A and B are shown apart, each in its own frame.
Chain A
């Protein structure tokens, strides 16, 4: 049974990691077997969930009196990539050779799309292992939701593109010397750009790598299928600021273009109107009461202005999104949310799993 995948996407600084953790704990509390995959957790959050020291293996999080279970994983790109290389290599020796390649050492976490590919791969691994009902994914704060979805295709293009086939084929025909003899303009341009020896090293890596490419390719197709599965949902996390709104709408456009299932907006740190009006302040009291009344009146006015700006921003966000898009508003808690009890206290404002469809 494949687990449902819930992707929390949004730009940096909106509270994605906190939201992902809070959702995971809330749903585990309510009875699901949840695994949350975080990409770049703040150290304190990692510490409070006890995942700071762990690599790519799920760590159980114990929630008192929970009906379900919760595990957390921190993505380790290098470890995930190495795992795939071991899986698809013909032999341990072949795998070791690739892992020892200087270019691989230098480049493995920096290749275009690799970070996102490995995150997607990890999601697939967790979703298909049969241990969980739902995987909550704290996506990388890339501006482009496409990055996550396109990563497997992009890696495929990199590995399989004309230039790489040329490089690896040339490499295998006669070693690096073969590259020097090549008169193709393409080769000349690339060699001129980065120098002969760099091309040689890259060629050697891809020459080794192409033997396990078919494994990667079919795996990548499976990953893409999962990301586009009918019950995969994308929750757009944002805040009530105008800048965050335009980023959120940009993400939404991406999801629409790729026909991904948008589950709704989750707006963090929302300020609300003060409940008491200035008229409720007593006429006399201890201390310099006139000064105090003025200060309190000003604070009420300020809070009201802030809350009103938030309300209007949220209204504009909803208006620009699809009609009747579900929106969950999480009030500003007035303190950092790092400990488990803080995360659990958000549960009442968060969507239940069935609310996401």
Chain B
């Protein structure tokens, strides 16, 4: 059973490790199975539309391709949605209320910005129905880079502790149950095969564990496959190359050897410490990330490198 086979997949990781790329690839992988999949961007990020040659995502889901839709959540829209649904005050919810009351209020209630994102995801999972069936077979969340998704995950807990009663409290409890249910929700962590990203990823994993979450799968990005010279003959070979005036080739080989070692190190450290299946994405050498590249990456999700 694939570790990716969950109703909700939350893609998290340090900035620059390829979260959005991984989320898009997961979306395609899921849609390829014929499952109605929704890709969700947070904090008003709108990068995913262009990957599929579509306009930027908005709060209303748009079709990206067959079986795949995309949306972008801002906390303003999510809280408005919530307030209107929960307390039925549409008449009150004017621009004035939004700017002069809800804006400052959201700033003053810590974690509310984060909490409403997963609150909306919960709403989509539980309440969106088409012809009597849940609309979405799978929802993939590209978590915010700031706070590395941890704040977003913890926000429902914070809301529960802070509010103690009321609709936000009740909703936060349900959201927390959803995100803690390992059968329903999977955490996917992205990483790069370099020393600092790996150690920061392991640190993030520790913080997630302490908060009661566990990573379902790891995606290692920007992997390069290159055959390298045999290390036993290399000293002689490099001496010969230097003698022939090709010392830059020696540097090139040693750079790639270092990269190879870092990649192997990343694979083993991540897999052994986090103990989750590991997938790898190759380094892409095109100047644009689009459908052909995303499709290629989606293929990799069928072949875990380390199960």
Contacts and interface: CB of A to CB of B under 8 A. Distances in A.
A309 B287 contact: yes
Interface in A297-319: 298-300, 302-303, 305-306, 308-309, 312-313, 316
Nearest to A278: B249
A291 B253 CA distance: 14
Contacts of B1: none
A13 B15 contact: yes
Nearest to A191: B166
A224 to B, nearest CB: 17
B100 A242 contact: no
B236 to A, nearest CB: 4
B164 A189 contact: no
B246 A276 contact: yes
Interface string B96-107: 010011011111
A336 B196 contact: yes
A186 B83 CA distance: 12
Interface residues of A, number: 74
Given A162-B100, A300-B249, A303-B252, A189 B110 contact: no
Q: Which of B104, B258, B289 has the most CB of A within 10 A?
A: B104
Interface in B62-97: 83, 86-87, 89, 92, 97
B128 interface: no
B292 interface: no
A309 B16 contact: no
Given A288-B233, A309-B286, A198 B162 contact: yes
A302 B225 CA distance: 9
Given A192-B87, A193-B167, A316 B287 contact: yes
Interface string B278-298: 000001011111000000000
B233 A194 contact: no
Contacts of B14: 12-13
A299 B107 contact: no
B15 A282 contact: no
B240 A286 contact: yes
Contact of A185 (B21, B47, B92, B108): B92
Contacts of B287: 242, 309, 312-313, 316
B195 interface: yes
A11 B275 CA distance: 29
A192 B89 CA distance: 12
Contacts of B97: 186
A195 B158 CA distance: 14
A154 interface: yes
B33 interface: no
A246 B105 CA distance: 32
Contacts of B246: 276, 280-282
A286 B237 contact: yes
B226 A305 contact: no
Given A185-B89, A309-B287, A195 B146 contact: no
Given A42-B200, A303-B252, A336-B196, A161 B227 contact: no
A110 B111 contact: yes
A287 B233 contact: yes
A274 interface: yes
B306 interface: no
Contacts of B86: 193
B305 interface: no
Given A12-B145, A110-B111, A313-B287, A295 B229 contact: yes
Interface in B105-127: 105-111, 113
Interface string B163-195: 111111100000000000000000000001011
Contact of B107 (A113, A140, A298): A113
A197 B169 CA distance: 13
B173 to A, nearest CB: 13
Contacts of B300: none
19 contacts: A42-B200, A158-B107, A162-B104, A192-B166, A193-B83, A194-B168, A194-B169, A206-B108, A239-B16, A243-B47, A276-B249, A280-B249, A282-B241, A285-B237, A298-B227, A299-B226, A299-B256, A305-B285, A336-B196
Interface of B: 14-18, 20-21, 43, 45, 47, 50, 83, 86-87, 89, 92, 97, 100-101, 103-111, 113, 145-146, 158, 162-169, 192, 194-197, 200, 224, 226-230, 233, 236-237, 240-241, 244-246, 248-249, 252-253, 255-256, 258, 283, 285-289
Given A242-B287, A292-B237, 11 more contacts: A12-B16, A161-B104, A197-B165, A242-B288, A243-B47, A274-B252, A276-B249, A281-B249, A282-B240, A285-B237, A312-B287
